[in-house]
Structure 1
Amino acid sequence: MKTIVDMNGIMMYGCFAIMGITLIFYIYFYGKPVWEKIHEVEEFSSLLTNYSQENIDNNFEELQDIFNNRGILSEIWKTYSKNLVVTTTTTGYKKIYSTDSSANYFNYANFTLDLNTKFWQNLAGIFTGLGILGTFAGLTAGLSNIDLSTNDVAELKKGIASLLGGMNTAFYTSLAGIILAIL
């Protein structure tokens, strides 16, 4: 009897440990890089406020330097800048034309290319699955110690206590899985 109750606790804490470790990996390998990319784009956007449509052509080299020193933006810029045509007007001003839309390069898919987003977007399902796994493991462990063929009340009480312990595991692992899936 004591072994089954202990087993429920081990399963419950095991599921919690797996969920906790997965959450830490999520924060470190996805949350942190996403935050860094957001910060990089915000910083770059603030630098772009110094330019207007009228002066951007004549400050093209300066703008290129800004792009080339910006991590993910520098790789996207290198690809996009191959489509730029720089001409000089008769009055000596530079004019820059693009043969392709910038939206084809500066987009969600290119910004998140190195983040393995398909895996991380499925993490909610993984947490839910772990919660369901804990639910079935807890209920199975709880039901395994009930002997319904006995007439001994003390033995039935032990079985019911085991079942309640399994339900406890089932409830908490399901709750943890759902909460982590929502986050």
Structure 2
Amino acid sequence: MPELMRHLAHYWHVWTVSAVIVLIALDYVRQFIGPAMELKKHLARVNAQLALLAQSGPQPHIDLTRLKTEVMASAPLQHAWLQYANTLQLQSQTAHEGPVGAARQRVSQLSKAFFSRLDLNAQGSRMDLSNLEQLAQNDPSLAKLWAEYNQAVEELQRLEMSTPSTTAQWQAHTHAEHYFTEQALVDSPLQSNFYKHTPGILTGVGIIGTFTGLIAGLVGFDVSNPERVQAELSQLVQTVGHAFLVSALAITLAMVFTWIEKSVLTGRYRQVEELQQWLDTLFAPQAGAQWVERLTLATEMQTALSYKILSQLRPSGPRTQPH
């Protein structure tokens, strides 16, 4: 026991640095590698469940609440899903086909023809568009187009109400990568921005251990007694040698941890990309042009209905009948 205590007292710097290295390594394994392995299993399970849904074809009746609770089980996934789910809309596949599609196309064509004719009559001058019906009544050709447009809008509404949507599919407004990001699903849960500096910390601790051993050896080096110089020199070499061994261990661990970190993060990023691809397969994002077209058509229909209601509320008076 006295021999052990004397050894610890003599090589205290080596044991101190070694203890610090061990603590850093244990914390790295417990706080980074362990959660990374759990995240790997969780993402693999999520991707497998999404793959089953995607391979079964279009799902018009996907239970989004069940998908959130059973598939998106972790807090980061649920947070991303809540934002992504707000972009989902159930779209009918027959919206641009059959009678409904033809009616939509006719409404769009009549709208373009009406405003083209209106622009031609204006000849570049500014027009007051607050009363389109009055502008249309001043020109027989415009009045005819306006009447046909109103009839087409009414027919489209009738068809949309009477035509059942036999097949529908959830569609997203944008790609899943905008919500299910690597930062939210991997970097933040694993605290990768912190633990990526662990190799540098280990290297620094190893260098400190080397200099501490060198300083401790030089402080105890006694050259006043020529008979003990050789023994003191041997002791100095042993002390510095142990310090270099500890430093080599720290640098080796730093290299190993760097490789582990890059491998782990690359694997998790790949799983997140796979998750994004499965979500885009399940909820095919619509192109921006489709959304603009739908918004334009809805605006045109709303405008036509508004003017029709206003015309019915105005007092009846002499009107120019379209020819």
TM-score w.r.t. the length of structure 2 is: 0.50
Any conservation in 1 of the 2:203–2:250 contact (CA below 8 Å)?
A: yes
Any conservation in 1 of the 2:89–2:172 contact (CA below 8 Å)?
A: yes
Counterpart in the other structure of 2:38: 36
Q: Structure 2 matches for 1:93-172, cutoff 5 A? A: 93-112=167-186, 113-148=188-223, 150=224, 152-172=225-245
Shift of 1:181: 0.5
- CA deviation string 1:161-183 (max 9, x = no partner): 33113212321211111121012
Any conservation in 1 of the 2:60–2:90 contact (CA below 8 Å)?
A: no
Any conservation in 1 of the 2:206–2:247 contact (CA below 8 Å)?
A: yes
Distance 1:67 1:8 in 2: 60
Unpaired segments ≥5 residues, structure 2 = 95-164, 257-323
Distance 2:69 2:219 in 1: 64
1:93 corresponds to which letter in structure 2?
A: T
Structure 1 residues 8, 108: CA separation in 2 closer, same or farther (over 3 Å shift)?
A: farther
Distance 2:248 2:220 in 1: 24
Shift of 1:4: 9.3
Determine helix, strand or coil for the equivalent of 1:60: coil
Distance 1:167 1:4 in 2: 18
Greater Cα offset, 172-181 or 129-138: 172-181
Distance 1:6 1:160 in 2: 20
Q: Structure 2 matches for 1:59-74, cutoff 5 A? A: 59-61=61-63, 64-69=65-70, 70-71=73-74, 72-74=76-78
- CA deviation string 1:121-169 (max 9, x = no partner): 0000011111011000001111112244x4x432212321331132123
Structure 1 position 76 matched with structure 2 position 80: yes
Structure 1 residues 59, 10: CA separation in 2 closer, same or farther (over 3 Å shift)?
A: farther
Determine helix, strand or coil for the equivalent of 2:91: strand
Q: Indicate the RMSD between aligned Cα atoms, in angstroms.
A: 2.5
Greater Cα offset, 86-95 or 164-173: 86-95
Structure 1 residues 59, 26: CA separation in 2 closer, same or farther (over 3 Å shift)?
A: farther
Distance 2:61 2:255 in 1: 46
Distance 1:27 1:65 in 2: 34
Distance 2:10 2:201 in 1: 21
Any conservation in 2 of the 1:86–1:96 contact (CA below 8 Å)?
A: yes
Any conservation in 1 of the 2:93–2:167 contact (CA below 8 Å)?
A: yes
Structure 1 residues 102, 59: CA separation in 2 closer, same or farther (over 3 Å shift)?
A: same
Any conservation in 2 of the 1:68–1:77 contact (CA below 8 Å)?
A: no
Shift of 1:50: 1.5
- CA deviation string 1:68-98 (max 9, x = no partner): 3321322221122122222344433222222
2:91 corresponds to which letter in structure 1?
A: T
Any conservation in 1 of the 2:210–2:246 contact (CA below 8 Å)?
A: yes
Q: Structure 2 matches for 1:1-40, cutoff 5 A? A: 6-40=8-42
Any conservation in 1 of the 2:58–2:169 contact (CA below 8 Å)?
A: no
Determine helix, strand or coil for the equivalent of 2:170: strand
Counterpart in the other structure of 2:52: 50
Any conservation in 2 of the 1:4–1:162 contact (CA below 8 Å)?
A: no
Determine helix, strand or coil for the equivalent of 1:51: helix
TM-score w.r.t. the length of structure 1 is: 0.84
